[in-house]
Amino acid sequence: MEKSPQEKRIKELVDSIRRHEQLYYVDDAPEISDREYDLLMRELIRLEDMNPELAMPDSPSKRVGGEPVDSFGQVSHGVPLLSLDNAFSPEDLRAFDSRTRKDLGNPENIRYAVEFKIDGLTVALRYEKGRFVQGATRGDGLVGEDITENLKTVRSLPLVLKSPVDLQVRGEAYMAKKTFARLNRSQEENGLAPFANPRNAAAGSLRQLDSKVAAKRRLDLFVFSALEIDSVNLKSHTESLDFLGGMGFVVSEYKTFESIESVISFTEEWTEKRHGLDYDIDGLVIKVDDLQMQKRLGEKSKSPRWAIAYKFPAEEKETEVLDIIVQVGRTGAITPAAVLRPVRVAGSVVSRATLHNEDFIKEKDIRINDSIIIHKAGDIIPEVVRVLTGKRTGVEKPFEFPSLCPSCGEKTVRFEGEAALRCVNAGCPAQLRRGIIHFVSKGAMDIDGLGESIVTQLMESGLIGDPSDLYKLEKEELLKMERMGSKSADNLLKAIEESKGRGMSRLLFALGIRHIGSRAAKVLADRYRSVDALMGAGPDELTNVPEIGPKMAESLHAFFNDHSNLAILGKLKDMGLKLTEEDAVEIAGKSLEGKTFVLTGTLGAYTRTEAKKLIEERGGRVSSSVSKNTDYVLSGEAPGSKYDKALKLGVEIIDEKAFGAMIEE
């Protein structure tokens, strides 16, 4: 059947835009101006809007973002995304080389591939028949979040490869320094807080529920590892990078060396040169290049034996302590912080550094007006390294900790055996504010859209005094707040309502009980199943619960014997919050226990995420590759090479109807 003029033009535009994206974002050799590119994209979007049935699922128009989602699904990584051991000195690298040689039987030559360690967000990308089908965050290395739609907006990520191959790759999404500077100027112009550094900006962009926001942030991507490639015979890591570059990816820059001493010289060279790049690197990654050697070396539980990350030394800068202030945390701890003469350190401007506690200040003898040396611990947290006492002129003043809480005026105390000074007034406004900020945070009740500034506004306006007041808020009250529109108010109220069902473990953590973190809260919820049952347990009984120590037990006992805490719990219960923990779901007696599935092709009745969830709920597991240990290959339309491999190995292939019957059983 002959194609219509509209279909022909859409195909021409798609091919042209893909070519220009490759030239601009991958080859760094653009042939047209930004305006000409925008006109092509605009025409494509207009034609697709007029003829939605002609829009391709991997059209370049997807890069502008789609409809917002309510949440991210989970993705199980078929190949675990391992972390790397770290090296901090030439001696660490020589020790790595010695271990490697010993484990390989002291071969005559080992070639090392050295790459930049991009400071961004690790992502895993999956392609079927050359088309991008799924992207996920690293997560814990085994399970990440599905951020496919946001990754489609990254223009250096090819939506269609140059060959129809099945593969999985690992890369790093990042934000260039120029893009970061533009983003922060925009944030400040709109009265919003600037991002701390490009890494935080990149991670935050890819975790936006609205992919249009991610599209506006202009992220980039380097690919540095082939996790799985079907039907391609490669002998070295650098060969795999060259192959991926040929497929259309921007691959991590690399160089090979025949000795560890040459590697060490390279690390010293780039310790100085790294700041000249338009993106942040926090080190170099050293890998054994030969893939057979990698296989022989194998892996530890969390890291490979054939690779190591060399971390650059923390950059140190001199500045001055202009003042020392204190802040009151949610547990009443009064934490000092140094107000600094602003100085650029490791890629961002630093104007404040934590001083931890009274003992830290005394140990380093830090005074107001001192000249000091600071660095960023882990290239993230500003920290005082030492005081330049030789520069003192006599104007320096020792800091005296307050005897009264700066928020409520009550006396401060320091308990025996603790380093922190504390305010013990449960009604302290600063503690209440920090407590509510913790209550709504992601690991706790996870109320999206209720950030620090909004909590502060709500408290200052008298609308909330404790967490239970959040559940009494009305739209008319929210609309009176700064920068709060009708849609934002509706979304916030919806998020507050949804948080009621989080369950006991999340609520326990959200309450901010001293010494009770998210793990302890989960242990307690699994053991007692309801807040009422937990309240009836004494300290002796609690210490018999695995992982619950005496301090935790005493803290819980004290919390549940405080009348103000009981009053808040009562109000939360009245507002409809779930104070129980759901029993673990047992489906069909784990009917797929021990069975391994591989998914291929396009499924109709389920998304891949839904199919995986159904399998895993019933005790099965999903793998990304077919082997003799695979029990079933679930095949949809247009299956890939996994289907052929299953036929070759005699693995049972099932369709969606057979799969549905298994699930029903």
Map 468-500 to HEC letters.
Answer: HHHHHCCHHHHCCCCCCCHHHHHHHHHHHHHHH
- The rounded percent of the chain whose pLDDT value lies above 70 is 92
Task: Provide mean pLDDT across the span 375-400.
Answer: 85
Instruction: Give start-end residues of each CATH 1.10.287.610 domain in the chain.
Output: 5-64
The answer to whether 652 and 636 are in contact (CB under 8 A) is no
Task: Provide mean pLDDT across the span 196-201.
Answer: 79
Virtual torsion, Cα 69, 71, 77, 83, nearest 10 deg: 110
The answer to whether 126 and 624 are in contact (CB under 8 A) is yes
Q: How many CB atoms lie within 10 A of CB 381?
A: 11
Q: Looking at residue 64, what is its pLDDT? A: 61
The answer to whether 419 and 358 are in contact (CB under 8 A) is yes
Q: Looking at residue 386, what is its pLDDT? A: 92
User: Residue 73 corresponds to which tokens in the numbers above?
Assistant: 């699904």
Q: Looking at residue 24, what is its pLDDT? A: 64
How far apart are the C-alpha atoms of 47 and 335, rounded to whole Å?
Answer: 59
Instruction: Give start-end residues of each CATH 3.30.470.30 domain in the chain.
Output: 86-311
Q: Looking at residue 82, what is its pLDDT? A: 87
How far apart are the C-alpha atoms of 663 and 613, rounded to whole Å?
Answer: 11
Instruction: Give start-end residues of each CATH 3.40.50.10190 domain in the chain.
Output: 596-664
Q: How many CB atoms lie within 10 A of CB 6?
A: 13
Residue that is written with structure tokens 């320094």 in the block: 177
- pLDDT tens for 156-172 read 899 999 888 989 999 99
User: Residue 234 corresponds to which tokens in the numbers above?
Assistant: 């490669």
Task: Provide mean pLDDT across the span 635-664.
Answer: 81
- What residues contact 185, with CB distance under 8 A and at least 6 apart? none
86-311 carries CATH number 3.30.470.30: yes
Q: Is the pLDDT of residue 187 over 90?
A: no
- What residues contact 292, with CB distance under 8 A and at least 6 apart? 235
CATH value of 596-664 in 1.10.357.20, 3.40.50.300, 3.90.1150.10, 3.40.50.10190: 3.40.50.10190
The residues carrying an active-site annotation are 117
- pLDDT tens for 245-284 read 999 999 988 999 999 999 999 999 998 788 788 888 889 9
Chain-wide mean pLDDT for the chain? 85
Instruction: Give start-end residues of each CATH 1.10.150.20 domain in the chain.
Output: 435-574
Q: How many CB atoms lie within 10 A of CB 425?
A: 18
Task: Provide mean pLDDT across the span 390-397.
Answer: 94
Q: Looking at residue 586, what is its pLDDT? A: 45
Task: Provide mean pLDDT across the span 48-60.
Answer: 79
pLDDT band at 558 (very low <50, low <70, confident <90, very high): confident
pLDDT band at 622 (very low <50, low <70, confident <90, very high): confident
How far apart are the C-alpha atoms of 661 and 636, rounded to whole Å?
Answer: 15
Weakest mean pLDDT among 22-36, 119-133, 481-495:
22-36
How far apart are the C-alpha atoms of 455 and 444, rounded to whole Å?
Answer: 15
The answer to whether 513 and 551 are in contact (CB under 8 A) is no
Sign of CA dihedral 97, 102, 104, 106: positive
Q: Between 233 and 105, name the one with better pLDDT.
A: 105
Q: Can you tell me whether residue 376 is helix, strand or coil? A: strand
How far apart are the C-alpha atoms of 269 and 131, rounded to whole Å?
Answer: 39
Q: Between 4 and 321, name the one with better pLDDT.
A: 321
Q: Identify which of 143, 140, 157 has the alpha carbon closest to the alpha carbon of residue 72.
A: 143
- pLDDT tens for 337-363 read 999 999 988 667 889 998 988 889 999
- pLDDT tens for 417-437 read 777 888 877 678 888 898 899
Q: Which residues are registered as beta bridge partners of 351?
A: none
How far apart are the C-alpha atoms of 349 and 443, rounded to whole Å?
Answer: 29
Pairing of strands 317-328, 397-398: unpaired
Task: Provide mean pLDDT across the span 190-214.
Answer: 77
55-59, 278-282, 492-496, 536-540, range with greatest mean pLDDT: 492-496
Q: Looking at residue 217, what is its pLDDT? A: 82
Q: Identify which of 540, 532, 529 has the alpha carbon closest to the alpha carbon of residue 560.
A: 532
Task: Provide mean pLDDT across the span 544-558.
Answer: 87
Weakest mean pLDDT among 2-16, 22-36, 397-411, 523-537:
22-36
Q: Which residues are registered as beta bridge partners of 374?
A: 317, 384
How far apart are the C-alpha atoms of 302 and 400, rounded to whole Å?
Answer: 46
- pLDDT tens for 316-336 read 889 999 999 998 888 788 889
DSSP 8-state code for residue 47: H
User: Residue 45 corresponds to which tokens in the numbers above?
Assistant: 């979007």
Q: Looking at residue 575, what is its pLDDT? A: 93
Q: Is the pLDDT of residue 69 over 60?
A: no
Task: Provide mean pLDDT across the span 625-637.
Answer: 85
Instruction: Give start-end residues of each CATH 2.40.50.140 domain in the chain.
Output: 317-413
Q: Identify which of 627, 648, 623, 646 has the alpha carbon closest to the alpha carbon of residue 635.
A: 646
Q: Identify which of 139, 304, 119 has the alpha carbon closest to the alpha carbon of residue 227.
A: 304
CATH value of 435-574 in 1.25.60.10, 3.90.380.10, 1.10.150.20, 3.30.565.10: 1.10.150.20
CATH topology of domain 5-64: Helix Hairpins (1.10.287)
State how far Cα 484 lies from the chain centre: 27
- The rounded percent of the chain whose pLDDT value lies above 90 is 35
Task: Provide mean pLDDT across the span 646-663.
Answer: 84
pLDDT band at 65 (very low <50, low <70, confident <90, very high): low
Weakest mean pLDDT among 117-126, 362-371, 583-592:
583-592
Containing 316, the helix (H) or strand (E) segment is none
Q: Is the pLDDT of residue 377 over 70?
A: no
Q: Is the pLDDT of residue 453 over 50?
A: yes
Q: Can you tell me whether residue 514 is helix, strand or coil? A: coil
The answer to whether 609 and 146 are in contact (CB under 8 A) is yes
Q: What are all long-range contacts of 304-307, with beta carbons under 8 Å and residues at least 24 apart?
A: 304/82, 304/84, 305/99, 305/100, 305/103, 306/100, 307/84
Map 336-359 to HEC letters.
Answer: EEEEEEEEEECCEEEEEEECCCHH
Instruction: Please state the length of the chain.
Output: 665
CATH topology of domain 317-413: OB fold (Dihydrolipoamide Acetyltransferase, E2P) (2.40.50)
- pLDDT tens for 505-538 read 999 999 988 888 877 888 899 889 999 999 989 8
The answer to whether 337 and 326 are in contact (CB under 8 A) is yes
Q: Is the pLDDT of residue 588 over 70?
A: no
How far apart are the C-alpha atoms of 402 and 410, rounded to whole Å?
Answer: 10
Q: Looking at residue 587, what is its pLDDT? A: 39
Q: Looking at residue 25, what is its pLDDT? A: 58
